[in-house]
Amino acid sequence: MAKNTVTYYIIGGGVAGLFCAKIIKQKVKNAKVVLCEAKSYLGGRSYSYYDEGFKCNLDNGTHVIIGANKELKKFVSDDEWESDIRFWDVSTNEICSGYTKNISHLFKSACNTMYENIAPVIKKKILSLTFPWTRNKTKIYFSKQNLSQKIINNLASYPDEILYASKLNKIECQFGCPAQLILSNRQIELAPDDKVILALDNVAYAKLMGEPTLPCNSIINIFYHTSEPIYLPNGARVLGVLNGLSDWVFVNDNVLSVTISAANKQETSLPELARMVWQELDLLRGVNSAFVPPFRAFKHKYATIMQDEYTNSLRPDSALSGLPNVYVAGDWTMKNYPCCLETAYLSALRAVKATLK
């Protein structure tokens, strides 16, 4: 190994951590990248898995890439974009189009925070990232049960070494400098020039660093599996839902998935909620189902931090952690930005640049 080799230890194999590995390999000559992941798989909150009951892949939650996402759009081919996004108003049972008049609904989904509570600076950032709202920038790609195949597996090729089931429990310091990583299954001695990037969610980061967690919002995802392909009015594959139980409906062959954002106050049990949502969808589809198809319902309690003004003020101002040679990444670390896949990339870019200063 070359004498000037610097080892980067990336803690966390989610999208931010994987993008850190990619950027390091592109920007840092002779860098060795070791990625430590607490789980047995990569992706963090963005991965796919094979569901034995459904006999098909499921995403852990439906994710959306918009045409304005410069980095993420590289993973999407030209024929995979959805350009005609419509909205279904449950109260009137009417389908309409138009992003502008439904902007509050879009912002709620982008930030997983009720529109009226989103920090004004984050609203401005969303508009600046997507303005002007040209046709190409407002096209979307929704994950079709292939998050891992589409994004995660591609990024997994960049680390030189991946240590699975390796949770970081402590950073041991000597004379104020990180000297050792205490993992759940091993200990790693740090050389003076080694770099550590903590690409963790806020809950894991706060526990590791002994800091309070930031307020979080939950997301509910429901997946229905039918024996025949599902069809929505006008052949739609994506529908925003106004004044209903859910926020978005996505169709991919025999799987219909539903997303409910900012779901902290949703107290209905998940099985009962899944049945109620399906009954509501009967109205949209113009049918009267005799039964609810097999479903999977999940509530991700710590899906994202809240993106209100107070919580935004508590987010980091930079990628510096307070410890020498230790940096932070993750969508929650980017003050004034919405928490999303593209922001995870931007946080990785900022963290790697910080290591080079």
Cβ burial of 314 (10 Å; 0-12, 13-18, 19+) is middle
pLDDT at residue 346, rounded to an integer: 98
The rounded distance, in Å, linking the Cα atoms of 294 and 123 is: 38
Phi-psi region of 201 (alpha: psi -120 to 50; beta: other; left: phi over 0): beta
pLDDT at residue 1, rounded to an integer: 46
Residue 25's SS3 state is helix
pLDDT at residue 134, rounded to an integer: 78
| 13 DSSP 8-state letter | -
- pLDDT > 90: what percent of the chain? 91
Residue 186's SS3 state is coil
pLDDT at residue 84, rounded to an integer: 80
Mean pLDDT over all residues of the chain? 95
What's the predicted TM-score (pTM) here? 0.96
The rounded distance, in Å, linking the Cα atoms of 34 and 10 is: 6
pLDDT at residue 128, rounded to an integer: 85
The rounded distance, in Å, linking the Cα atoms of 181 and 191 is: 11
Regions of the chain short of the pLDDT cut 70? 1-3, 131-133
Residues whose CB is less than 8 angstroms from the CB of residue 162 and which lie 6 or more positions away in sequence, other chains included? 13, 34, 35, 37, 42, 156
Nearest 5°: CA angle at 141, between 115 and 10? 85
**Residue-range domains of the chain with CATH:** 6-42+156-213+316-355 (3.50.50.60), 49-145+216-305 (3.90.660.10)
The rounded distance, in Å, linking the Cα atoms of 238 and 250 is: 5
Amino acid at position 139, single letter: K
